[in-house]
Amino acid sequence: MDLIEKITTKLLKISFFVLFSFFEVQSQVKVFTIDEAINAAISGNRDILIAKMNIRKADASVGEAFGYALPSVNLSANFAHFLGKPKTPFPDFGALLGNATYSILFDEGVLPRDENKFKPVGYALQSFALSNSYETQVQVKQTLFNSAVFRGIGASQIYLDLSKEEYNRILASTILNVKRAFCSVLLTKELLQITNESYLNAQENLKNVRALLSQGLVSEFDALQAEVNVENIKPVIQQMENTMKSAKDGLKVVMGMDQKEEIDVAGELLYTKEEIPEESDAVLNALAGNHGIKSLQMKMDVDDAFIDLDRAEYWPSIYAFGNYTYAGSSDEWNFQNYSSSMVGVTLSMNLFMGHQTKNRVEQSTITMQQTEQQLNLLKDFITTEVKAKLNELKRVEQNIEAQERNINVAKRAYDIALVRYNEGTGNQLEVQNADFGLRQARTNRLQSVYDYIIASSSLDELLGTIDKKYFQPESTE
């Protein structure tokens, strides 16, 4: 009895340890709904993070552009001490002074004139600099007229608007990618569930066949067929499990998560019939609301602003300035200080720069024309894609309705095949074919529901319709 109690106690401890370990692992798996996955992607997706940085960068460029129109104030100061004073060749002051003195004395008759007293005046190296000097200066400069400055302010604001619209485009694309990846995980999970159910059916069928075999009611060949059918489903399950792991890894990439993290998804693929818009209305809405088209339209505005910036070099620039200077110099640190101040206006204008401005304007114009062609190409592509998605939605919608009926028929056929086999009027091939038909019918419907959801989401992305709950204005400031 003691031995049994010890074994029982040990088994209980092992069971508790296994359960605790299981729940600990389970607690580390992050389960996401579709909204949680989208919000996680908005917070962690690298493309969105880069787009947010571009908005902040563009906002800073607006402030910089305004700064060029504001006055600039500069303070400068310097101190210098000569280790060796600079010298300049200059007429000999000693000879000049002596000659001037003798000339006065001779002219006043104080001394009798003697030409030998006059010395030739040559050049000697002399220094006129003091050892120490300093200077401080405050300078103010204000733009009165500069076409490039004023047009640059407008261009920077357009660029900011472009950055925000580009963020919307990337946001819409990311939401579509998350939905596609999320639904791929759901699809794989449900396909795995269908395969597991088929595997359970095959096992149950094998169990019944073996029971009938033991009673001599069926042949050994039927039992072998049933066993082969069970073994054939196992690799399919393993393949589906690997596919689900790859789908989860793809979802983590879109969400910007570490690949080492374990995740799962909550929900199921549900078919909700939606009203399919008219083709002409959908095309018009896409051309007006698609974020890619809006981005290129704003890109054209930016290109046009750059043309104006290049043309601004033809116009003159006028600046007002003023400065105040305080300085001093000395040999023995007893500085002689002085101050000065000045105000004025400067005008500068380009008269000729080798046709550089003309060629820059031409390059900017060509860039704008290229953007216009890209915009027209994108409009044609969007129009084609909208029509294709509408046709796909109509096709899949019809398929789903037919497949729902097909599942009921396949289920009925499988039940009949089991009854026929148990009654001895059917065979294993009928059971296997009916099981495969049921599995295929459920798989086809599930794939069609997935296609319908993705086509509908793709159409929303083409139309530029983003649910406002996914916007995070505070994160784009």
User: Does residue 108 share a domain with residue 66?
Assistant: no
User: Does residue 463 share a domain with residue 381?
Assistant: yes
Q: What pairs with residue 72 in β-bridges? A: 141
| Phi/psi of residue 20, nearest 5 degrees | -65, -45
Q: What pairs with residue 446 in β-bridges? A: none
User: Does residue 293 share a domain with residue 212?
Assistant: yes
User: Does residue 43 share a domain with residue 71?
Assistant: yes
User: Does residue 279 share a domain with residue 413?
Assistant: yes
Nearest to 61 by CA among 159, 183, 204, 165: 159
CA separation (Å) from 414 to 201, 205, 237, 349, 419? 10, 12, 21, 90, 9
Question: What tokens appear for 399 in the block?
Answer: 């398929």
393, 462 contact by CB (below 8 A): no
Tally of residues, the chain: 477
User: Does residue 260 share a domain with residue 395?
Assistant: yes
User: Does residue 168 share a domain with residue 49?
Assistant: yes
What is the chain's pLDDT, residue by residue, as a tens digit (477 residues)? 444 444 444 544 554 454 444 444 444 788 999 999 998 888 888 888 899 999 998 888 888 888 888 899 999 999 999 888 888 887 776 777 877 887 787 777 777 877 777 778 777 777 778 889 999 999 999 988 888 888 888 888 888 999 999 998 999 999 999 999 999 999 999 888 888 888 888 888 888 888 878 887 778 887 888 888 888 888 988 998 999 999 999 999 998 888 888 999 998 888 888 888 899 999 999 999 999 999 999 999 988 888 888 888 888 889 999 999 999 999 888 888 999 999 999 988 888 777 888 888 899 899 999 999 999 999 999 999 999 999 999 999 888 888 888 888 888 988 888 888 777 777 777 877 888 888 888 888 989 999 999 999 999 999 988 777 776 544 444
Q: How many domains does the chain have?
A: 3
Q: Can you tell me whether residue 325 is helix, strand or coil?
A: strand
380, 272 contact by CB (below 8 A): no
Q: What is the DSSP string of 115-138?
A: GGGPPP--EEEE----SEEEEEEE
Report the C-alpha gap between 443 and 94 in whole angstroms: 115
User: Does residue 436 share a domain with residue 312?
Assistant: yes
pLDDT at 14: 52
CATH number at residue 411: 1.20.1600.10
108 within a domain of the structure (yes/no): yes
Report the C-alpha gap between 319 and 66 in whole angstroms: 16
The amino acid sitting at 37 is A
136 within a domain of the structure (yes/no): no
Sequence-distant (6+) residues with CB within 8 A of 169 are: 291, 292, 294, 295
pLDDT at 98: 79
262 within a domain of the structure (yes/no): yes
The amino acid sitting at 219 is S
142 within a domain of the structure (yes/no): no
415 within a domain of the structure (yes/no): yes
In this structure, the strands spanning 30-32 and 263-265 are: parallel
341 within a domain of the structure (yes/no): no
User: Does residue 364 share a domain with residue 220?
Assistant: yes
pLDDT at 472: 57
The residue range of the domain holding 100 is 87-126
pLDDT at 153: 83
User: Does residue 38 share a domain with residue 13?
Assistant: no
Q: What pairs with residue 425 in β-bridges? A: none
Residue holding tokens 């597991």? Answer: 196
The burial of 431, by beta-carbon neighbours within 10 Å (0-12 exposed, 13-18 middle, 19 or more buried), is given as buried
Nearest to 78 by CA among 129, 136, 139: 136
